Amino acid sequence: MVKNLVHTFILIFILVAGNVCYGQVFLRNSGDCLLLTNIPQPDFIRIRKYKKNNQEQYKKLVQKAALKHNLSFELIDAVIAAESGYNPRAISCKGAQGLMQLMPGTADALKVNNAFDPEENIDAGARYLKAMIDRYGSVELALAAYNAGPKAVDKYRDIPPYKETQGYVKKIKAKLNPNDSINSRKKAPAPPKNGIKVKKDNKGNIVISN
């Protein structure tokens, strides 16, 4: 009880200090933890027609993204299931948002207006996943980059030795067609010296570069 009170007072202090020094700070319950963020409470009213755990409701959006970005339906479906369990309102302890759990920085780079809008989220998540596949030439490494970040994949030039990431890749790969040649495992290329940047070209395509 005392420990919980101490934690509460600490959180209140952080929130107050954040408001004074850096602008508004929000405390949000993500389900698994309490999350401090500078992102306002999402406007779920506009997407209230979308329900949690209703995979069938998102089938057309997944099919649309798969055709648009030349990915398999099964791959996008498996990533959504692993990332959010088809909960469009999901927020992780790290701040990842929506069905495909886009980090705010990634969502901004992909020009996402509302990361909780299923159509925007799935399209952006698929674009990013396709960019990772194009970079690494391997679904396994792309999934590792999606989960742990491309810096981790570049560092190890392989699936990082993180239990969560290795389990994540294994879980999703088990749902894919084992005969798909793009799933073949190979070493990641040497990391670019100045790090990876995600941006859009003049045609609106996502470009991964250094």
Q: Where are the domains of the chain?
A: 1-41, 49-209
Please report which helix (H) or strand (E) contains residue 63, including its range: helix 59-68
Residue 25 above 90 pLDDT?
Answer: no
Token couple for 119: 């159509």
Q: What percent of the chain has pLDDT over 90?
A: 51
140 part of the active site:
no
Q: Which range (17-26, 43-52, 110-119, 148-157) has the least confidence? A: 17-26
Given the residues 56, 83, 120, 140, select the one marked as catalytic: 83
Distance CA 38, CA 71 (A): 33
pLDDT at residue 48 in the model: 61
For β-strands 34-37 and 197-200, DSSP reports them as: unpaired
Answer yes or no: pTM beyond 0.75.
no
Residue 26 above 50 pLDDT?
Answer: no
Q: Which range (4-13, 148-157, 188-197) has the least confidence? A: 4-13
First to last CA, the chain: 50
- Domain 49-209's class? mainly alpha
Question: Within 13 A of 159's CA, how many CA atoms are on the CB side?
Answer: 21
Beta strands in the chain (DSSP E): 26-29, 34-37, 197-200, 206-209
Query: Which residues make beta-bridge pairs with 50?
Result: none
pLDDT at residue 75 in the model: 96
When comparing pLDDT for 78 and 34, which is higher?
78
